[in-house]
Amino acid sequence: MKLYIAQATCSLAAQIVANELGLSPELVHFDVVGKTTSNHDDFAEVNPLGYVPVLRIGEDKHDLLTETAVIVSYLADQRPEAGLIPRVGTRERVEAEQLLTFTATEIAQKHIPLMRKLMTPEGTEWTRNKLVAAYAEIDKRLSDGRAFLMGDKPSVVDAYFWATMWHERSGAQIEHLKWVMAHKARMEALPSVQKALKDEADMVARHRALAEAA
Ligand SMILES: N[C@@H](CCC(=O)N[C@@H](CS)C(=O)NCC(=O)O)C(=O)O
């Protein structure tokens, strides 16, 4: 397997899940600004829409998965015994999918135009308010004292939710949400998260060094 990642993006979710499962996909760094990859793959062929994560699961041209929610679910389903995602057909699975979709649409994709400073002042205010409301919902969920979003153990949902905590870059004021902030700290203490951050930093540095040497 080959996992295309970019710096400080939602691809960290896929790395965390792979780490939790003990899987070691080959990591390829995509520079979203320069559009180059660390292994010289043409990213326009990998994903014509130009975004990560992308997971290559085979050699055929169709063996490329996109969409973070799908990639983390696919990975977790490879090792169901690890308990990173509930089994298909259960009420818990639907709940996990609901939270993954919520993270994709109400959180990740709301942050992006703010981070890129693409919005009018009215659009900025509306989107920031939407984000704060979405985080408040998650805060409410965590307020029963559960350690992670699906219960006592980390799941794909935690990985994705944590990987899109871009509030500092998008200006969404959520620091008062104490359950969300405690969850963030708990995630950052996990070895799978620390390894993901280190592997990403190493890949970025290697890619930069290659670009400078060229
Ligand atoms: N629909 C995709 C969107 C992924 C996405 O927005 N990726 C960002 C990083 S988090 C990216 O690669 N952006 C680069 C670009 O769009 O140019 C998903 O849910 O995975």
pLDDT, tens digit, for every residue of 117-148? 989 999 999 999 999 999 999 999 999 999 99
**Pair 174, 98 in one domain:** yes
pLDDT at position 136 is 98
Residue minimizing CA distance to atom 19 of ligand 1:
67
Same domain, 135 and 39: no
Which residues are paired to 27 by β-bridges? Answer: 3
Domain that holds residue 98: 85-190
* 116 shares a domain with 72: no
| Token pair of 174 as six digits | 């959520």
Q: What is the pTM of this model?
A: 0.97
Residues with CB under 6 A from ligand 1: 6, 9-10, 32, 50-52, 67-68, 104, 112
Q: How far is the CA of 51 from the centre of ligand 1 (A)?
A: 4
Low-confidence ranges of the chain (pLDDT < 70): none
Say yes or no: 41 and 126 in one domain: no
Q: Which residue out of 3, 4, 5, 10 has the highest number of ligand 1 atoms within 8 Å of its CB and is therefore the one to mutate?
A: 10
**Residues 133-159, buried b or exposed e (16+ Cβ, 10 A)?**
ebbeebbeebeeeeebbbeeebbbbbb
Q: What is the CATH number of the domain that holds 46?
A: 3.40.30.10
Burial class, 5, CB count within 10 angstroms (exposed 0-12 / middle 13-18 / buried 19+): buried
pLDDT at 20: 98
| Residues 61 and 92 occupy one common structural domain | no
- 54 and 119 fall within a common domain: no
Compute, in angstroms, the gap from residue 31 CA to the centroid of ligand 1.
12
CB 23 within 8 A of CB 78: yes
Whether residue 44 is found in the same domain as residue 63: yes
Q: Which of 28, 52, 67, 157 to mutate to test the pocket of ligand 1 (most atoms within 8 A of CB)?
A: 52
Give the pLDDT confidence score for residue 144 in this predicted structure: 98
pLDDT of 6: 98
Cα of 195 from ligand 1 centre, angstroms: 22
Q: How many separate domains does the chain show?
A: 2
Residues 182 and 198 in one domain: no
> Atom 5 (ligand 1): residue with closest C-alpha?
51
CA of 108 from ligand 1 middle (Å) equals 9
pLDDT of residue 61: 86
- Which runs of consecutive H residues, i.e. helices, occur in 103-190? 109-115, 121-142, 156-163, 167-170, 178-188
Give φ, ψ of 4 to 5 degrees. -85, 125
The answer on 93 and 182 residing in a single domain is yes
Rounded distance from Cα 73 to ligand 1 centre (Å): 17
The pLDDT value recorded for residue 82 is: 97
Q: What is the CATH number of the domain that holds 181?
A: 1.20.1050.10
